[in-house]
Structure 1
Amino acid sequence: MNAEKRYEIFARLKAENPNPTTELKWTSPFELLVAVLLSAQATDVGVNKAMVKLFPVANTPQGIVDLGLDGLKEHIKTIGLYNTKANNLMKTCHLLLEKHAGEVPRRREDLEALPGVGRKTANVILNTAFGEPTIAVDTHIFRVANRTGIAKGKNVTEVERKLLRHVPRKFLHDAHHWLILHGRYTCVARKPRCGSCIIEDLCEYPEKTELA
């Protein structure tokens, strides 16, 4: 895919949704960290429902620690893999209190050192909470990048590297959200809705459908 086509793709995505953001509900970097950490193999809707109950009770590292592991599990038990996620979140909160004065760090290395926080989660925090031009490649972005031809790669790291290189600078900050939303609602896994896609004529996917 050439640079002109990539530019037009993101120009159209921006025109359709000028201010994209995560569908997770959050009001602080810590709330976002908690939501993203809990969202692995879970829906944003499901995570939001649990956070509505958790955050009024505990929305700081100290608040989570004070809640205790059993109390935390009780609040997030509707989320898949909640036992493992609760353990990771509790360990993360202790580290935030011990090493970062209870604040979410802004350095990738510090974020990735937190239990349950990998590169993808770190990228979400850096981009959404702190405005860094990063791209967190999840299954949606991996699919869209490969299917359209925007940035083909055999693994998420390769796709991330190519996106950072090829996405026009003026669109880089919001590219993460545009691609996720496009993959979630239009360029879906089984039967992409090519008939209602605003970038269908630019997409290089050879097996386009007519589904709207």
Structure 2
Amino acid sequence: MSANTLGFDTQFYNYLLSASLREADVLRRLRDETTSHPRAVMQLAPEQGQFLALLVQLIGAKKTLEVGVFTGYSSLWVALALPADGKMIACDVSEEYTSVARRYWQEAGVANKIDLRIAPALETLDRLLADGQASTFDFAFIDADKGNYEGYYERSLQLVRPGGLIAVDNVLWYKQVAYPESQDNITQVIRAFNEKLHRDERVFLSLVPIGDGLTLALKR
């Protein structure tokens, strides 16, 4: 949930994109449409979407999970990176927002890869666990309501296989986590979440300063 990587001035950021971004036309058009959305601030940065796609390819992912879809930009990046028989379960609560996602998934030819579940994500994740799908996912991306981050993480950690990767967005929260005087609820929640993962010996950990901060947790 950041239009570009924190701390980059416009000239430097534009250079970064010009030197590295390989964004398919369908992705660019989805990003452009989302820019005019009333909640456009929830849009993923393009360099971050490309990074997620690279991660999926690096680990050879075939079965992925997304918590928080919005208009489908991140899921489209990942779905395009999956092999032809790859599958994604995408969790969201909004039919309205994800209706945009469905249009672009269909246009890009990846709708068959994506199983969209419209329901509170904790319910969907619990159902997947109850259905015996623990340790069957290769990759999970979490970018939804921050108050439930710990719950999403704990369930995703059960659902991904050993050697599977969990990526969590917005862990820098517009830099506010670094400043003790920032004591609003969301900042405190994310700060506590970061501290929890820093101590979590179940995963190998890296916090990457891309977008609004992306934590990568590789399950041991």
Calculate the TM-score normalised by the size of structure 1: 0.25
Bigger strand fraction: 2
Bigger helix fraction: 1
Calculate the TM-score normalised by the size of structure 2: 0.24
Q: Which has the larger radius of gyration?
A: 1
